[in-house]
Amino acid sequence: MIHWIVFSTLSAGLLYGLYCLTLRRDRWLQLSLWYLLVALGFSLVFPFISLPDRISTASQSIIPTGEYVATLSEIEISPIPSPHTLGLMVDIYLIGMVLCTVYLLFQMAAQAVIIFRLRRQHTVYRSSDGFDIPRGSSLVLLDDDTAPYSFFRQIVVGTRDLSDDELRCILAHESFHVSHFHSLDILFARLMCCLAWFNPFAWLIVRELRAVQEFQADAASVSTCGREDYLHLLYRQVTGTGYGHITNNFKSINIKNRIVMMNKTKTRFGAWKVLAALPVAALLLMVGCKQTGPAPSENEVVEEQATLNEASVEPELFDYTQNEPAEGLTAPEFEGGMDAFYKYMTDNIHYPEQAKAEGIQGRVLVRFVVRDNGDIVNVEVAKGIGGGCDEEAVRVVKAMPKWKPAIYEGKAVNVQYALPISFKLQ
């Protein structure tokens, strides 16, 4: 939970800041819209993505170095919040999510009721009635100064003091919202905000998304009505009555920003700005994603194992220079199997207080030998990180119960293991 909250907020903040520095002042509007939607979805999902860890290796990989050396899959250790604290955090999150969802549903239901009443009290027009609106949509014209807005396939316009040309401009604007399914974009973004109600950058992204939609509709309207007539209409629509943030409201975005954006032109290399998000996303994936441990390539294993074998290990390990252990060797076994081994490690290793206080995290690589009698000997740290993590890893490995020894051609032999243990703060 903490991991997701921290990294989703960090991701949304970085991607939002990058948008403000690059695409926000450019007229690559469709690209901006997709960037904002993807950034919002990515920030919520990426902490759950699992990536292969280059250093982690598959269980019992046999390394051709003249000794039988097996590397175990990496074990990840994180400080565990107390059940009370964790439960309280989950309760607070769920309450916030439910409240946001209920509020969103209330907004949608209230708007649906308003539309239903308007349709019953006024004439409903369609494209077949001579109005230039998308096929399948409907139009309600009110005899008041209600600010024009659209809600999914419904368009509502207050016609008081509007000329025919102004009405045509407004319909072009709202029709663009309808034909490009902008209400669905807003609904998706708002649902994401219900899941990430704690994330201020998610709400800022939604605000930017609404602005981009208005800029797009403005551009379509200018091509239909002409720049001067449309600007005059915008000034007249500064005041009016709207129906909340679930609709596409003609006057919902700052008029000054809309006029500035209409006078901009696309920069030649503006679309390339979005590529700046790629290294940011890659960095977030490296830092915030969960890691799994598939077997690395043979060259990577040999290179890493060469470091492990620099120091001599006693007693003398099984030498298979003239034999083929992959065919005749039965590997050592922890009592209960490897699942029991990993459970033993995760149940007994505790994140050192010193490491938590100093923010130390990383990978400790421990070597040990399973002797021909099953004893665990020669426990040492091949690569440490300090903060008490090295000592904790060694303590737990030394305290392991006996293993079933490795057997080769009916004879028990000594086997060296390399065990990566990852200490990670959440």
Any idea what DSSP says for residue 351? -
Q: What is the reported pLDDT for 47?
A: 78
Phi-psi region of 362 (alpha: psi -120 to 50; beta: other; left: phi over 0): left
Q: What are phi and psi of 381, to 5 degrees?
A: -95, 115
**Taken in order 128, 133, 139, 141, is the CA torsion positive or negative?**
negative
- Indicate the Cα dihedral angle 388, 390, 391, 393, nearest 10°: 120
Domain residue limits, the chain:
2-50+83-284, 311-423
Choose which CATH entry (3.40.50, 1.10.3470, 3.30.1150, 1.10.10) describes domain 311-423: 3.30.1150
The answer for residues whose C-beta is within 8 angstroms of residue 107's C-beta and 6 or more apart is 244, 245, 246
- Indicate the Cα dihedral angle 104, 108, 111, 112, nearest 10°: -160
> Which is nearest to 15 in space by CA: 291, 290, 289, 285?
285
Alpha helices in 289-388 (DSSP H): 298-308, 325-328, 338-348, 353-358
- Contact indicator for 237, 250 with CB cutoff of 8 Å: yes
Give the predicted TM-score (pTM) of the model.
0.59
Give the integer Cα–Cα distance in Å for 97 and 93: 6
Alpha helices in 309-388 (DSSP H): 325-328, 338-348, 353-358
pLDDT per residue as tens, the chain (426 positions): 677 788 888 888 888 988 888 888 777 888 889 999 999 998 888 777 765 544 333 333 333 333 444 555 666 655 555 555 556 778 888 999 999 999 999 999 999 999 999 999 999 999 888 888 999 999 999 988 888 889 999 999 988 878 888 888 889 999 999 999 999 999 999 999 999 999 999 999 999 999 899 888 888 888 888 877 777 777 766 544 444 455 565 555 566 677 777 767 777 666 677 777 778 777 777 766 655 444 444 444 444 444 333 333 333 344 333 334 445 677 888 888 888 888 888 888 888 888 888 878 888 889 888 888 889 988 999 888 888 899 999 999 999 999 988 887 778 888 888 888 888 876
